[in-house]
Amino acid sequence: MSLSGADWLDREEREKQEQPERALEALELRPGMLVGDVGAGTGFYSIRIARAIAPDGIVYANDIQPGMLDRLRANAAAQKVANIETVLGTESDPKLPAGKLDLVLMADVYHELSRPQRMLDRVRESLKPNGRLVILEFRKEDPTVPIRPEHKMTVGEVKAEVTPEGYQFEKVVDTLPWQHIIFFRRTE
């Protein structure tokens, strides 16, 4: 999504439509964790995660657009959240710290990747041994989810792409109105 679409990320109804608090519960966040948010956009999840892992946890909020990161920093400052480090990445490298992260989240991002295998490789390198990758994607299996088909994925599609890249499928949590929460563990 380009910066011109950033208002959609911050729309008032997003809270009700996506219920991020349920997603955060599923992530089992704890104070002190180090978390990457790949494709963080304006910080919808980064800010919520940062609060959950405070005071000693850090969110590495990645995006490939400097303008999105500017907006994320402004949103975090307005909400007095200081434990977020913004990271300008590329289409194939999120530039996250190597071997340090407990969890990496991709919320409504994976389907947008132009070089998913390369990105998954770099994300795996950022995870601690046994660290988790969590992918939220709009449910393609559900025709009532009001999102264009090219912005949806099935669990099977996600598993087929992610597991060959050094990840073990762990579970799916389907407590959100529109999205799957798909968990993987780093295997190597």
21, exposed or middle or buried, with CB in 10 Å at 0-12, 13-18, 19+?
exposed
Task: State mean pLDDT over 15-35.
Answer: 89
- Averaged confidence pLDDT in the chain: 91
Going along the chain from its start, the domains and CATH numbers come out as: 3-186 (3.40.50.150)
To the nearest 10°, the Cα dihedral for 108, 151, 98, 82? Answer: -30
The answer to whether 92 and 119 have CB atoms below 8 angstroms apart is yes
pTM for the model stands at: 0.91
Looking at residue 11, what is its pLDDT? 52
Summarised one tens digit per residue, pLDDT across range 46-102 is 999 999 999 999 999 999 999 999 999 999 999 999 999 999 999 999 999 999 999
Residue 5's pLDDT band (cuts 50, 70, 90): low
In the structure, what pLDDT confidence band is assigned to residue 20 with cuts at 50, 70 and 90? confident
Kindly state the average pLDDT of the residues 124-149: 93
For 51, half-sphere exposure in the C-beta direction (CA atoms, 13 angstrom radius) is 13
